[in-house]
Amino acid sequence: MILRAKYLITGDGRTCLQDQAVYLDKEGKIGWIGDAAEAAGRYPEEMVKDYGEATILPGLFDMHVHFGYYYSQPDLNNYDDYMVAYYALEQAKQSLRLGITTVRDLSC
């Protein structure tokens, strides 16, 4: 899949690129970032999602996340603090394996 948008923030606190595209491989990991006009030529078989004037933030992490608790876990009260912490650690490791990181500065 190719994602396109007017702006792309790299997350280094300085760089805001314009008219870029991001190629996501079959696992949803970033495989390439480059000029939006070049993306379709590099990956002609891929679906393109164009977000127009939006900003793409690869790896943006929702900092208000509850790794150790989900409202859909009706049996959470069966876990002691150790198990909740262990569960949270595993969720955090999975997120990092997927390439989810933090971004310091979101200004363009």
Task: Please state the domain extents for the chain.
Answer: 1-108
Mean pLDDT of the chain: 79
Distance from C-alpha of 78 to C-alpha of 69, rounded to nearest angstrom: 12
Quote the tokens at residue 90. Answer: 């595993």
Quote the tokens at residue 86. Answer: 């262990």
pLDDT band per the 50, 70, 90 thresholds, residue 11 = confident
pLDDT band per the 50, 70, 90 thresholds, residue 64 = low
pTM of the model: 0.56
Residue 13: partners with Cβ closer than 8 Å, 6 or more residues away: 104, 105
Q: Per residue in 21-37, pLDDT tens?
A: 999 998 888 899 999 98
Q: Which CATH number fits domain 1-108: 2.30.40, 2.40.50, 3.30.1460, 2.60.40?
A: 2.30.40
- pLDDT of amino acid 80: 82
